Structure 1
């Protein structure tokens, strides 16, 4: 068994690591974002009732829970939250100016809102699409359930469209950093219906758009890729120090309740993706993909795997993963796909050990571009849970078998003597 490592190791290792970064724009999901929609549904004596909805419009990047997402903002005036349904502020703040009973739910100048577990409050006090433990599935994986909702009674806020001011400085954590939110922008009021016939209109609506950057989430990659083939026994491992998942100081209880515990490897990556070119048929070829969790302290809930490869226009089947094409450049130019686990079978990638991997075989139909040369059968880009993985150096790709190996001088001489003996024997037999 491989030795375990706390992620705190010698800082000298870090000095020899080259880290990759990722920009916020993702060409495989150019329109992906999380949109926060804030609807004022009615006026109260000193403010309004609001319904806040978070939509995950990303194709393959989700938020796992608990604790899941955390949404915060700064009030424009001295607003307070009198009551909440479907979520809660983690701090009440300073409510000493109020003599009411009960006090406001939160008087914080910058409230931080977290989701609730479905078991934490009675069902009668829940609202539709609330209370998921902070989980926010991606749109592609779960287009029916890619939202989270909570309601607030906001006080000291103004009681008309002219007196209400938009909150500022929105932030979204998942649960760590990674998302950058733009300013609140007024949009046409939302329409609501309960029976599909009669519609009601929100009094006022604004949207906030939050986009993801892997570099903001973590300075180093969290996954790497290795390759192998049936025609060559050499195996390009994950690049050395690909992740270097090493902080500069030892974690303490104050910094983290549960430090990551990894297999000690040369790449120090919590997740390894292995792509094996398994078989070659007349009209098809087959690859096997294995996702390996080397982090003993974590399981990866509702994982996603994105693969970019030029043959996905002719993809036939994934034998034990869910699959959907991404089609970022149109249905006729598909070179990428997203995979995720089958429910109750391999939906959860458990912590490292015996259950620490999931795998599937993938079948492709050959087209005119198919070749084993120049690493064509290997993916061009791999992402796990929406984060870019480090690929092997192309110079390390397995080489093709030599179909006509050159003979050494000795072997060539022996072969010539053998052929000459056969010819002489046949000549004698034919003339007898």
Structure 2
């Protein structure tokens, strides 16, 4: 059957159209659609299987810095890297903290979306021993369930720039480890790839915090040695009123003449303050800075402080009832916060301030606390402070006395804990003596630091030399002759450059006075070599094996503490609360006389065979003065020093007696 020519033409066009689509694929608009549907870049290995917080650290690049040197270990390299935290679990992480254990003498120059905490300071920061970072401005990692998978709310990316040392050109500089630093989290497995590290962290089901409050809307409150609260009491357009509370909660912690610092991150400034003051009263930074640009008609002459890092100090006692700058509860204690073991009523300080904000943070609902908190004190411990963590609003008694409570608009907590002092950076030191040795083991060389002017005349690296016990009563500058004479007596070499002194304001001598089957005694002497007296001083000693036998102290008040374990707490008796300053000698030719407090301490031996006084059980493993951990000497007194000083004639007489009158069985 013949087909009409029109039908043949239609069939031909249909065939050509089908052939074109089969041979050449879909049109261009279909190509675009397929590209959009292609899967995006894959997640790092292990992230999809992690039910918790997934961490990564990725090395990006590095370049050789000037100067170029032949010594590989001395060559500096600039580097770039990034770290990510992703909440892949079902529980929100509030106030995240990440620890990175660097290992190539890294110096961090900058980090986005995070700040350094735990005493690392501001950038640039040496982080060769590791660095802990917390989120800023976003501190929390929400879950995928609560955000419909919004990565901007459930993850954080930190970009690092810095300097590192000591690798050849082809090596990839990765940290030794990474982990989540929040309490109660474990990161058991670290996986290392060529250019990055990964780990999956999860909640430890066995973890039970003994130092936090009950759960609320925000992060539970933690409790450390010194706890600070930043409470916004009233919020206005462009400003707010806040209250800062400092609680000294540590058993051994103490603050004398405290100075508190923080860093404003968003251009804020302090307009006024009650209960404390800034060390500098100035407003030039406001006039020539961002506040002057945004607040054109503002009267900055009434502003207290415009520094990015203000230094805040307590007011003296006489300002406590001043209606303009004082007159708030728990203010104005002259910077002294004692241990709660001594006086709970004098362990808290409070001050209030008016803070002004800059655009775009002027709405009353936009509130950011200052960051990088640090607190220091005269002759007290070094403290590492956490980043501010949002907690449930603080409650205060209502002013009318009805029993009702008012609540802060918003509250943040900062926790500071005492740290062990770095070598040669202590604030006090200890010497050891004993009844069975005529040589004193002095404080270690440069125990409290040495400056450059000293090291030209003495050796800061040399070990401290033994000295006669009476030399401990002399200032360090007057001991040289006695040290040399003692070394000559012991036939010990005297170095050309003598060891540098300890340079400590406070030193403590621990002397083992006696040792017998039923017990033993020690004498503790405190010396003040400084120009300032210490009111309401206290000291504490840790005796790991002998503390349980503590019996009595005769010229101090003494208490055996439950926590820390094996620790005895001492303070002055009534009328002896002052450790006075150093005084001039009786004449110009006489050395200065230090302030001194002393007492004998008695101990019993519950199990005599379990305690060996001479081998170290009678000497403290830790000593504290006013909250500061003191530097201990690097050796113990030896009976050999007593024997070596006996006259040769005495030994001859003993030998003669032994030969003439032999022992009989």
Given the two structures, how large is their TM-score scaled by the length of structure 1? 0.73
Matches within 5 A, 1:154-303: 154-156=355-357, 162-174=365-377, 178-193=382-397, 195=401, 197-215=403-421, 219=425, 222-229=428-435, 232-238=436-442, 241=445, 243=447, 245-249=449-453, 262-264=475-477, 265=479, 268-269=501-502, 270=504, 271-280=506-515, 283-293=518-528, 295-303=529-537
Residues 37 and 54 in structure 1, CA contact (< 8 A), matched pair in contact too: yes
Q: Aligned residue for 2:268?
A: 79
The alignment partner of 1:307 has SS state of: strand
Given that residues 178 and 218 in structure 1 are in contact (C-alpha distance below 8 angstroms), is that contact kept between their aligned partners in structure 2?
A: no
Deviation at 1:145, TM superposition (A): 1.6
Q: 1:221 to 1:156 in 2, by over 3 A?
A: closer
Matches within 5 A, 1:5-404: 32-64=224-256, 68-89=257-278, 90-94=280-284, 95-96=286-287, 97=292, 98-100=297-299, 103-120=302-319, 123-125=322-324, 126=326, 127-156=328-357, 162-174=365-377, 178-193=382-397, 195=401, 197-215=403-421, 219=425, 222-229=428-435, 232-238=436-442, 241=445, 243=447, 245-249=449-453, 262-264=475-477, 265=479, 268-269=501-502, 270=504, 271-280=506-515, 283-293=518-528, 295-309=529-543, 310-328=545-563, 334-351=565-582, 353-354=592-593, 356-368=595-607, 369-385=610-626, 386-394=628-636, 396-398=637-639
Do the aligned residues in 2 keep the contact of 1:35 with 1:209 (CA within 8 Å)? Answer: yes
Q: RMSD of aligned C-alpha atoms?
A: 3.8
- 8 Å Cα contact 1:60/1:141 also seen in 2: no
Cα distance in structure 1, aligned partners of 2:578 and 2:438:
32
1:408 and 1:170 map into 2 onto residues whose CA distance is 67
SS in 2 for 1:249: helix
2:578 is paired with a residue whose SS is: coil
Structure 1 residue 359, shift from structure 2 partner: 0.5
Give the 3-state SS of the residue equivalent to 2:346 in structure 1. Answer: coil
Structure 2 SS opposite 1:219: coil
Shift of residue 210, structure 1, vs aligned partner: 2.4
- Is the CA contact (8 Å cut-off) linking 2:429 and 2:448 kept in structure 1? no
Cα separation, 2, equivalents of 1:99 and 1:118: 33
Distance 1:296 1:111 in 2: 28
- Between the aligned partners of 2:234 and 2:522, the Cα distance in structure 1 is 57
Q: Secondary structure at the match of 2:661?
A: helix
Aligned to 1:144, the other structure's residue is in SS state helix
- The alpha carbon displacement at 1:297 in A equals 3.2
Is 1:70–1:174's contact at 8 Å kept on the other side of the alignment?
yes
Task: Answer whether contact 1:307 1:336 (CA < 8 A) is retained.
Answer: yes
- The change in CA–CA distance for 1:218 and 1:144 in structure 2 (over 3 A counts) is farther
User: Alignment partner of 2:344: what SS?
Assistant: coil
The equivalent of 1:424 in structure 2 is none
Range with bigger deviation, 217-226 or 358-367: 217-226
- Unmatched runs of 5 consecutive residues or more in structure 2: 1-210, 212-222, 456-473, 480-498, 584-591, 644-650
Label 1:374 to 1:44 Cα distance change in 2 as closer, same or farther (>3 A).
same
Q: Which has the larger radius of gyration?
A: 2
Corresponding residue SS for 2:660: helix
Cα gap change, 1:349 to 1:322, in 2 (>3 Å)? farther
Measured against aligned partners, the alpha-carbon deviations of 1:194-252 in whole angstroms (never above 9, x if no partner) come to 559322211110011223435469635641222212xx25233215626274310379x
Could you tell me whether the CA contact under 8 Å between 2:235 and 2:365 is conserved in 1? Answer: no
What secondary structure, in the 3-state scheme, does the structure 1 residue paired with 2:355 have?
A: strand
The 1:277/1:173 distance shift into structure 2, 3 A limit, reads closer
Render the CA deviation track for 1:371-392: whole Å, top value 9, x for unaligned.
4452332223323332232235
Q: Does 1:411 align with 2:653?
A: no
Deviation at 1:151, TM superposition (A): 0.6
Note the C-alpha offset of 1:41: 1.4
Partners of 1:86 and 1:217 in 2: CA distance: 36
Question: How many Å apart are 1:70 and its aligned residue?
Answer: 1.9
The answer to whether the 8 Å contact 1:244/1:268 transfers is no
Q: Given that residues 59 and 141 in structure 1 are in contact (C-alpha distance below 8 angstroms), is that contact kept between their aligned partners in structure 2? A: no
Indicate how the Cα distance of structure 1 residues 380 and 406 shifts in structure 2: closer, same or farther if over 3 A, else same.
farther
Kept in 1: contact 2:433–2:511 (CA 8 A) = yes
| SS of the residue 1:123 aligns to | coil
Unaligned segments of structure 1, at least 5 residues: 1-29, 252-260, 420-432
Q: Which moved more, 1:100-109 or 1:122-131?
A: 100-109
Structure 1 equivalent of residue 488 of structure 2: none
Cα distance 1:267–1:321, how it changes in 2: closer, same or farther (>3 A)?
Answer: farther
Query: Is contact 1:169-1:183 (8 Å) kept?
Result: yes
> For residues 316-355 of structure 1, what are the alpha-carbon distances to aligned partners after superposition, in whole Å with 9 as ceiling and x for unaligned?
22222232333346xxxx4212222234314324225446
**Which structure is higher in RCO with an 8 Å CA cutoff and minimum separation 6?**
1
Deviation at 1:141, TM superposition (A): 2.8
* Distance in 1 between residues matched to 2:329 and 2:253, nearest whole Å: 23
Q: Which moved more, 1:145-154 or 1:41-50?
A: 41-50
Q: Distance in 2 between matches of 1:413 and 1:281?
A: 30
CA distance in 2, matches of 1:136, 1:217: 26
Q: Contact 2:444–2:632 at 8 Å: present in 1 too?
A: no
